[in-house]
Chains A and B, each alone.
Chain A
Amino acid sequence: MAGSMDQQTPDTQPRPVVTVLDSTHRAEADVRIAMYREALRIRLVEDEIVARYGEQEMRCPTHMCIGQEAPPVGVSAHLQPQDYVFSAHRSHGHYLAKGGDLKAMIAELYGRATGCASGKGGSQHLIDMDAGFLGSAPILASTISVGVGAAWAARRRGEDRVVAIYFGDGATEEGAFHEALNFAGVNRLPVVFVCENNLYSVHSQLDMRQPAHRTVKEIGPVHGVEALSGDGNDIDEVWRLGRYAVERARSGANPVLLEFFTYRWKEHCGPLEDGHLGYRSEEEIESWRKRCPVTTYAQRLSEEQVLGDEAAQAMRAEIDAEVAQAFEFAKSSPFPELAELDRDVFPGRGAI
Chain B
Amino acid sequence: MGERVITYGEALREGQAECLRADPDTYLIGLGVPGPTGIFGTTKGLVDEFGPDRVLDMPSSEGGMSGIALGTSICGLRPIIVHMRVDFAVLSMETLVNQAAKWHYMYGGKMRAPLTVRMIIGRGWGQGPQHSQSLQAWFAHVPGLKVVMPATAKDAKGMLISAVEDDAPVILFEHRWLYGVTGEVDEGYTKEPLDGARVLRTGRDVTLAGYSYMALESLRAAQLLEQVGVDAEVIDLRSLTPIDTATLGASVGKTGHFVVSDTGHAAYGAVSEVASAVVERNFADLKRAPVRIGLPDVPTPTTPALADHFYPGPREIAQQVLDLLGSDRQLPPEAEDPRPWKDVPDMSFTGPY
The interface of chain A, by Cβ under 8 A from chain B, is 115-121, 125, 127, 129, 134-135, 137, 139, 142-154, 156-157, 175-176, 178-180, 182-183, 186, 343-349, 352
Contact = CB atoms under 8 A, between A and B. Distances in A.
Contact of B71 (A120, A121, A150): A150
Interface residues of B, number: 39
Contact of B106 (A120, A150, A153): A120
B276 interface: no
A60 to B, nearest CB: 12
A121 B74 contact: no
Contact of B108 (A134, A139, A144, A344): A344
A344 B102 CA distance: 10
A197 B168 CA distance: 35
Contact of B112 (A118, A119, A139, A347): A347
B76 interface: yes
22 contacts: A118-B109, A119-B108, A142-B95, A142-B99, A145-B63, A145-B95, A146-B71, A147-B71, A153-B77, A156-B53, A157-B76, A175-B64, A178-B64, A179-B63, A180-B67, A180-B68, A183-B58, A183-B65, A345-B143, A346-B144, A346-B167, A347-B168
Contacts of A127: 107-108, 110-111
B67 A344 contact: no
The 4 closest A-B pairs by CB, nearest first: A149-B71, A179-B64, A145-B67, A118-B108
A233 to B, nearest CB: 30
Given A116-B108, A137-B99, A179-B61, 11 more contacts: A120-B107, A127-B111, A135-B74, A148-B68, A149-B69, A150-B74, A153-B72, A182-B64, A344-B105, A345-B104, A352-B109
B23 interface: no
Contacts of B99: 137, 139, 142-143, 146
Contacts of A156: 27, 53, 72, 77
Nearest to A113: B108
B67 A148 contact: yes
Interface in B66-121: 66-77, 94-95, 98-99, 103-112
Of listed B63, B75, B111, residue having the most chain A CB within 10 A: B75
A130 to B, nearest CB: 10
B165 to A, nearest CB: 8
B257 interface: no
B59 interface: yes
B167 to A, nearest CB: 4
A175 B63 contact: yes
Contacts of B176: none
Contacts of A150: 71-72, 74-75
A135 B113 CA distance: 13
Given A121-B108, A125-B107, A152 B63 contact: no
A345 B169 CA distance: 11
A149 B68 contact: yes
Nearest to B77: A153
A154 B75 contact: yes
A146 B77 CA distance: 13
